[in-house]
Amino acid sequence: MNPNANRNYRDSVFSLLFSNPDILRELYSAIEGIDVPQNAIVNINTLSEALFMKKINDLSFTIDDRIVVLIEHQSTISQNIPLRILMYIARVYEKIVEEENIYHRKLVKIPTPEFIVLYNGKENYPEHHELRLSSAFKDITDLKLSENYSLPLELVVQIYNINQGCNQKILERSKYLNNYSFFVSKFYEYRQYLSLEEAAIAVVKYCIEHDILREFLEEHGSEVENMLFHDITIEKIAEIRAKEAYEEAQEEERKYFISLLDQDLSKEEIKQRLTQAKTGQSNTF
């Protein structure tokens, strides 16, 4: 593995597996359909957060200091990915560009950015899709800007579905990505009838026995089991909290409705008050 990687920070299985310059070279070549030369220098600069001892983004790296690539692995696709990546890339440039240089009069050359998301969640998703930062911009047509107005900022994220059976050419070109895709699909399969902990142990055992990421799992098997358990548990906690918040809101709405009934209001007045509360015109709930 990359000797420069700071293992004091919690990885995901994906970032741990691909935090190796040679494996990243293979991965990037497979996605782009090119062959990155073996003598091209790959430097990993993934962001870490000291306060919480965790990785901020999944992977970021430069190739010969001419291209900077951010790769995110996602099991669900958020429409806010371009905004998150915008924040990531600004911090990455802070790491790789000397601060004093940006105040020089001479133009500072920076690596050309590329933004990639690899998706292997359970929901159906196209083999390839683009998300654009401009989709998040608020409508300003009523401000009557000039007809030749062009956006001063854009960021385009390329999303590739890496589930088994999708993007076969990419998976065939990257042994590690193909094996990782199989590893995840096997984990989902085990989760159908095993507990989270049992599924994590079973998928590591199965893949070692069938020579799938064998060396990686022999070295990091216990870490991988813990990562699977932690990451899925965090997702579950988020789902539970969202459900609790929804139920609390429903209960508040029910109590407010009862209070309106007690006031002997007309149906129309009750409907109007409820509508105002839901649209934020009232701070009742």
Of 58, 52, 53, nearest to 19 (Cα)? Answer: 58
Cβ contacts of 164 within 8 Å, gap of 6 or more:
171, 181, 182, 185
For the chain, report the end-to-end CA distance as a whole number of angstroms. Answer: 52
Upper half-sphere CA count for residue 224 (Cβ side, 13 Å)? 28
Model confidence over 88-124: pLDDT tens digits?
A: 999 999 999 887 788 888 999 999 999 999 999 888 9
Where would I find the beta strands (DSSP E) of 36-176? 42-44, 48-49, 54-55, 59-63, 67-74, 112-119, 128-132, 156-161
Confidence of residue 245 (pLDDT cuts 50, 70, 90): low
Task: Please give the biggest Cα pair distance in the chain.
Answer: 81
Does the pLDDT value for residue 60 go beyond 90?
Answer: yes
As a whole number, mean pLDDT of residues 120-136 equals: 94
User: ∠ at Cα 229 (226, 232), nearest 5°?
Assistant: 140
**Size (the chain), residues:** 285
Query: What integer pLDDT is reported at residue 257 of this predicted model?
Result: 67
Model confidence over 185-226: pLDDT tens digits?
A: 999 999 899 988 899 999 999 999 999 999 999 999 888 888
Confidence of residue 55 (pLDDT cuts 50, 70, 90): low
Tell me the domain boundaries of the chain: 1-136+151-192
Q: Which two tokens stand for residue 6?
A: 């700071």
Beta strands 48-49 and 67-74 are unpaired
3-state secondary structure of 60: strand
Residues linked to residue 161 through DSSP beta bridges, in sequence order: 119
Query: What integer pLDDT is reported at residue 264 of this predicted model?
Result: 72
pLDDT, greater one: 270 or 110: 110
State how far the alpha carbon of 180 is from the alpha carbons of 21, 36, 109, in Å: 17, 21, 35
Which amino acid is residue 58, in one-letter code?
A: D
Which range (138-147, 164-173, 176-185, 214-223) has the least confidence?
A: 138-147
Count CB neighbours of 273 within 10 A: 19
pLDDT, greater one: 143 or 117: 117
Q: Give the C-alpha separation, 30 to 224, whole Å.
A: 24
State how far the alpha carbon of 34 is from the alpha carbons of 20, 22, 31, 43, 181, in Å: 19, 15, 8, 19, 21
Of 5, 50, 8, 20, nearest to 174 (Cα)? Answer: 20
User: ∠ at Cα 128 (203, 186), nearest 5°?
Assistant: 10
Rounded mean pLDDT of the chain? 83
